[in-house]
Amino acid sequence: MQSFKKLLVANRSEIAIRVFRSATELGIGTVAIYSHEDRYALHRFKADEAYRIGKPGEPIRSYLDIAAIVALAQQVGADAIHPGYGFLSERPEFARACAEAGIKFVGPSVHCLESLGDKTAARNIAMAAGVPVLGGTAESIETVEEARQRAEEIGFPVMIKAAKGGGGRGMRAVRTAAEFDQAFESARNEARTAFGSPEVFLEKFISRAKHIEVQLLGDEHGNLVHLYERDCSVQRRHQKVVELAPAPNLSATLRSGILDAALKIGKAVNYSCAGTVEFLVDVEAEKFYFIEVNPRIQVEHTVTEEITNIDIVKCQILVAQGMKLSHEDIGLGDQKNVNLSGFAVQCRRSCSPTLRSRA
């Protein structure tokens, strides 16, 4: 089993600080990177070492420079890189560059990132695993003429979604054919800006739906468990605002089906590290549908940590070192080892702390 000596976090702000904390508790040295604009940011001062990357005037691009980040990690002797969320966290080329440099990427394998990072490919994996998906296109669509035709075949309302990336970017709900052309171009432009790819696909839009996601945790030895579900239905412009764990008002049958479906998808790609499988629940029909996988840690992982008493980030680091879920430092050799206690709520923008209540 590999033992990390120094971990670089290729991210900034809250998630960087969060990873530094778990790494420090494990006795691992920490390295921060920061852009010129972030030179006074808190995460710079929370790591054992901190180095500026990029040029002034490039506050975002600095965190996307794969070659510079990997070269810096080699220069300072970091043997592992944690990508956090956003930025390079779902980019298979980043994970591949780390591997080629002899640096451990704290995340899923390149194969998983390639398989699940493209939402149309992930839909096909779900269907092959026997998990229900919404009606839609099996591939991304490039022309507005073809997209409009497919939308009419699916039936309005439809959702236009970016094929790469997540976080609600590159998404447009379209209720009528008259709105379609403008929405299609707008979604493509936003996807291109956010993810470097204009690829979009279509999915049937459900007017009354719950957004339920399942937290997975796997090791590199084929073991996989779920840490139950979160309800992320309260959103603004497809951005999550309130997250609750576990999901309230979810029938036992639906919960069981969703949890089993998430595990099926994870096992289909031999998933390792932390990841989230997302579903929509049609409230009126009492049915659920797979929508995507986020192969990374998420902002809302904290509510799951509160109700399970499991440090997900620490588990990510231990799994990346080659540890099995059954190891005493993780203690998740079986699904029965995951226990729930109480409820947790996270509110973004209006209030940042994770709030907890005991049932």
Residues annotated as part of the active site: 296
Tokens (6 digits) for 359:
């049932």
* Euclidean distance between CA atoms 163 and 154, whole angstroms: 18
Rounded to 5 degrees, φ, ψ at 194 are -80, -35
How many C-beta atoms surround the C-beta of residue 289 within 10 A? 22
Distance CA 17, CA 7 (A): 12
Count of residues making up the chain: 359
Residue owning tokens 């790494």: 23
Interior angle at CA 130, CA 127 and CA 132, nearest 5: 65
